[in-house]
């Protein structure tokens, strides 16, 4: 008995529920062979289930399952061929089966069900048996050769139906998989999507992405937190010449499929010399290729045997292809984003920790969209006379051109501020003329403000070129929106009338300059965005500048906003 059980799978292809299609095959079986009972049965180590059943006594007809002690179908599964007995009570192999007293089984004939090849529609006689079509009589009977042939013909038709069912499920799986991976924009999202597919649609316990590194001489897991319980530390990195399946799949550019852990150990007897294996049964190792370039290996693990693993090669091929394409997109996007962010951040200034008595802090958060790097910038310039000028601007556009234009605009304005004294409107007017005369083609919004000492506090003079209004946080937690009529954007005309605005600032106050990425969010108004900024500032009135800006960004933007975002905060002691 124990030997027979070891030859059975730990799962069945279909559950213990009535299935109209397979009930129909059971009825055809009773009619064709003249028996009172016929079953479409699937057997595992835990028992047998009947997706199709006609004529079983209760409660078995309703339960649609029995333990192995009641199964004659297991002999078809373990032998892989037709099994028939005239009187189960007299056959030494079946005489002790509880199917005889409980189910009324005396005469039995069963034929194996195998999944056909989806390309040819034919079942390979060496493929695993996934089910049994059987006929049962409550009295002894001799099975004729013609009856066995009819049983085998019905089993072939039932196998074809089962194959169509599996093929439809595979096609649905692949469509869902393709849709899911289209939205994966980062390596982490690709890994998470595949993990979800593995659990939800493939019945797997775990999946992991291995990426090449160190000159393509070893592999590393994209996310170590996804490693299954019991995984040894030696699996965090895998040398490409290691005697393990993932490395072999990468070296040989071919998938490796193991229906159970015994097959894996037979193929790789030294696998556990690398590190202790986690507890699992079936596993698959799929090389991820873009043309002939290896970009990773996908590992899939099940906690039960999967006897049909090799028959599902088309699923694994498509899964590997879709994953490779998504991973390649995510990797290229990450590289492009990294280059863009390096350019963007290289154009931002290194702010002084303080300018005289003032404390200043800046933040920049790139957009969530990979192709957008933006033209937002901030700047603080301490002139030769000690005056501090604050700038926060946004060049229109979201590409490399916008970033390059931002660098030119920022450089011009920085030079004008340093070169000679002037009011904020005068400085921005010089920028208008400079952009026109030097052929700097671009538009930008900005706020330029100059801080002056004034009695017991400070005075802020500023001009606004079409930019969101600054916010002043008072020491008592109230906020003041420095909303004044804004002038035209810079870069539109060489001669524009610009206006100066003035406000007295008490000691202990904080000034916030920001770009529209902080307040513009899909589904929310700009007014609502500004109010959220004011509420957040009030909540964090006593915090240091770094904490204040971090909390503000966390609440309103997150790690990646819909648009890039620049912030500049000034604390007046």
Query: Residue 340's pLDDT is what?
Result: 56
Residue 501 scores a pLDDT above 70: yes
362 found inside a domain: yes
The values of phi and psi at residue 70, to 5°, are -110, 20
Query: Residue 229's pLDDT is what?
Result: 61
Q: Stretch 4-29: mean pLDDT, rounded?
A: 83
Q: Stretch 61-76: mean pLDDT, rounded?
A: 95
Residues 12 and 48 in one domain: yes
543 found inside a domain: yes
Residues 160 and 234 in one domain: no
Residue 162 scores a pLDDT above 70: yes
Question: In this predicted model, which residue has the larger pLDDT, 109 or 121?
Answer: 109
373 band by pLDDT with thresholds 50, 70 and 90: low
Query: Residue 419's pLDDT is what?
Result: 87
Residue 273 scores a pLDDT above 90: no
Query: Residue 4's pLDDT is what?
Result: 47
Residue 191 scores a pLDDT above 80: yes
Question: In this predicted model, which residue has the larger pLDDT, 350 or 319?
Answer: 319
Instruction: Tokens for 50, please give them.
Output: 């009947």
Q: Which of 120-124, 162-166, 491-495 has the weakest average pLDDT?
A: 120-124
Residues 257 and 384 in one domain: no
Nearest to 376 by CA among 352, 358, 349, 353: 349
CATH number of residue 528's parent domain: 3.60.40.10
177 found inside a domain: no
The stretches of 347-445 forming alpha helices (DSSP H) are 400-419, 424-438
Residues 195 and 224 in one domain: yes
Nearest to 309 by CA among 204, 420, 172: 204
Could you say which of 317, 341, 365 is where a domain stops? 341
Residues 165 and 198 in one domain: no
566 band by pLDDT with thresholds 50, 70 and 90: very high
401 found inside a domain: yes
Number of independent structural domains in the chain = 3
Contact residues for 336 (Cβ-Cβ < 8 A; gap 6+): 370, 371
Distance from C-alpha of 423 to C-alpha of 556, rounded to nearest angstrom? 33
pLDDT tens-digit readout, 207-218: 888 888 866 788
Is-contact 469 483, C-beta < 8 A? yes
Residues 352 and 337 in one domain: no
pTM for the full model? 0.53
Question: In this predicted model, which residue has the larger pLDDT, 370 or 540?
Answer: 540
Give the chain's count of helices (H) and strands (E): 15, 23
Residues 362 and 221 in one domain: no
Residue 454 scores a pLDDT above 70: yes
Q: Virtual CA dihedral for 390, 395, 398, 403, nearest 10 degrees?
A: -70
178 found inside a domain: no
Residues 195 and 72 in one domain: no
pLDDT tens-digit readout, 318-339: 888 888 888 888 877 766 666 6
Q: Stretch 1-5: mean pLDDT, rounded?
A: 46
DSSP-derived secondary structure letter, 270 = T
Q: Stretch 140-156: mean pLDDT, rounded?
A: 96
Q: Which domain holds residue 371?
A: 347-571
Residue 286 scores a pLDDT above 80: yes
Q: How many CB atoms lie within 10 A of CB 434?
A: 18
Nearest to 178 by CA among 325, 280, 70: 325
DSSP string for residues in 49-100? EEEEEESPPTTHHHH-EE-GGG-SHHHHHHHTS-EEES-TTT-TTTTT-THH
104 found inside a domain: yes
| Beta strand residue intervals within 455-573, DSSP E | 457-465, 471-473, 479-481, 501-505, 510-514, 565-571
Percentage with pLDDT > 70 across the chain? 88
Residue 307 scores a pLDDT above 80: no
Q: How many CB atoms lie within 10 A of CB 476?
A: 10
Query: Residue 1's pLDDT is what?
Result: 43
Is-contact 107 87, C-beta < 8 A? yes
Residue 391 scores a pLDDT above 70: yes
Percentage with pLDDT > 90 across the chain? 53
Residues 163 and 251 in one domain: no
21 found inside a domain: yes
Residue 78 scores a pLDDT above 80: yes
Residues 351 and 313 in one domain: no
The values of phi and psi at residue 359, to 5°, are -110, 135
Question: β-pairing, 479-481 with 471-473?
Answer: antiparallel
176 found inside a domain: no
Residues 56 and 194 in one domain: no
Average pLDDT, the chain: 87
Distance from C-alpha of 27 to C-alpha of 19, rounded to nearest angstrom? 12
Q: Which of 76-80, 296-300, 373-377, 466-470 has the weakest average pLDDT?
A: 373-377
Q: Stretch 183-199: mean pLDDT, rounded?
A: 82
Task: Report the alpha-carbon angle 446-450-453, nearest 5.
Answer: 160
Could you say which of 341, 359, 392 is where a domain stops? 341
Q: Stretch 83-96: mean pLDDT, rounded?
A: 96
Could you say which of 151, 171, 191 is where a domain stops? 171
Is-contact 18 53, C-beta < 8 A? yes
Is-contact 22 52, C-beta < 8 A? yes
Q: Stretch 294-314: mean pLDDT, rounded?
A: 84
CATH number of residue 162's parent domain: 3.30.450.40
Residues 159 and 240 in one domain: no
Query: Residue 13's pLDDT is what?
Result: 83
Distance from C-alpha of 531 to C-alpha of 545, rounded to nearest angstrom? 20
> Can the peptide bond before residue 59 be classed as cis, meaning omega within 30 degrees of 0?
yes
Residue 282 scores a pLDDT above 60: yes
Distance from C-alpha of 315 to C-alpha of 202, rounded to nearest angstrom? 10
pLDDT tens-digit readout, 535-555: 999 999 999 999 999 999 999
Q: Which of 63-77, 290-304, 458-472, 548-562 has the weakest average pLDDT?
A: 548-562
Q: Virtual CA dihedral for 256, 260, 262, 265, nearest 10 degrees?
A: 30
Q: Stretch 189-193: mean pLDDT, rounded?
A: 85
Query: Residue 2's pLDDT is what?
Result: 44
Q: Stretch 437-460: mean pLDDT, rounded?
A: 92
């Amino acid at each position: 008995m124990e030997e027979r059980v070891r030859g059975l799978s730990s799962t069945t292809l279909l559950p213990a529920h009535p299935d109209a299609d397979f009930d129909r095959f059971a009825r055809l079986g009773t009619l064709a062979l003249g028996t009172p009972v016929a079953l479409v049965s699937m057997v595992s180590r835990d028992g047998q289930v009947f997706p199709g059943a006609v004529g079983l006594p209760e409660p078995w007809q309703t339960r649609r399952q029995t333990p192995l002690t009641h199964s004659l179908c297991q002999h078809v599964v373990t032998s892989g061929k037709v099994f028939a007995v005239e009187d189960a009570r007299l056959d030494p192999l079946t005489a002790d089966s509880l199917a005889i007293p409980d189910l009324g089984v005396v005469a039995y004939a069963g034929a194996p069900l195998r999944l056909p090849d989806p390309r040819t529609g034919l079942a390979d006689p060496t493929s695993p048996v996934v089910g049994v079509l059987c006929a049962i009589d409550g009295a002894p009977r001799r099975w004729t050769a013609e009856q066995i042939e009819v049983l085998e013909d019905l089993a072939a038709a039932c196998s074809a139906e089962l194959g169509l069912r599996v093929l439809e499920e595979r096609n649905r799986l692949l469509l869902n998989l393709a849709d899911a991976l289209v939205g994966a924009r980062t390596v982490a999202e690709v890994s998470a999507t595949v993990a979800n597919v593995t659990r939800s649609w493939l019945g797997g316990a775990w999946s992991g992405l291995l990426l090449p590194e160190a000159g393509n001489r070893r592999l590393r897991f994209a996310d170590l937190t996804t490693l299954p319980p019991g995984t040894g530390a030696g699996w965090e990195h895998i040398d490409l010449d290691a005697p393990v399946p993932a490395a072999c799949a990468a070296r040989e550019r071919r998938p490796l499929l193991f229906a159970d852990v015994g097959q894996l150990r037979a193929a790789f007897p030294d696998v556990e010399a690398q590190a202790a294996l986690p507890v699992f049964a079936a596993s698959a190792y799929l090389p991820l290729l873009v043309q002939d370039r290896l970009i990773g290996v996908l590992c899939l693990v099940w906690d039960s045997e999967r006897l049909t693993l090799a028959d599902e090669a088309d699923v694994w091929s498509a899964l590997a292809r879709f994953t490779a394409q998504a991973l390649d997109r995510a990797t290229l996007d990450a590289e492009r984003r990294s280059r863009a962010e390096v350019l963007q951040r290289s154009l931002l200034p290194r702010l002084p920790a303080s300018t005289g008595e003032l404390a200043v802090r800046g933040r920049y958060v790139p957009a969530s969209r990979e192709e957008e790097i933006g033209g937002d910038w901030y700047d603080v310039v301490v002139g030769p006379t000690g005056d501090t000028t604050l700038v926060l601007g946004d060049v229109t556009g979201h590409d490399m051109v916008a970033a390059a234009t931002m660098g030119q605009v920022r450089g011009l304005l920085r030079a004008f501020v340093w070169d000679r004294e002037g009011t904020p409107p005068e400085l921005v007017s010089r920028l208008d003329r400079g952009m026109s005369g030097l052929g700097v083609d671009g538009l930008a919004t900005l706020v330029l403000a100059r801080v002056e000492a004034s009695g017991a506090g400070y005075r802020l003079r500023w001009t606004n070129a079409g930019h969101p209004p600054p916010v002043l946080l008072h020491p008592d937690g109230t906020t003041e929106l420095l909303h004044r009529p804004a002038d035209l954007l810079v870069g539109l005309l060489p001669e524009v009338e610009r206006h100066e605005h003035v406000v007295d600032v008490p000691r202990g106050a904080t000034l916030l300059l920001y770009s529209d990425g902080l307040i513009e969010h899909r589904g929310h108004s700009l007014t609502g965005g500004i109010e959220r900024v004011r509420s957040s500032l009030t909540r964090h009135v006593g915090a240091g500048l770094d904490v204040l800006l971090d909390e503000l960004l966390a609440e309103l933007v997150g790690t990646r906003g819909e648009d890039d975002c620049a912030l500049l905060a000034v604390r007046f002691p």
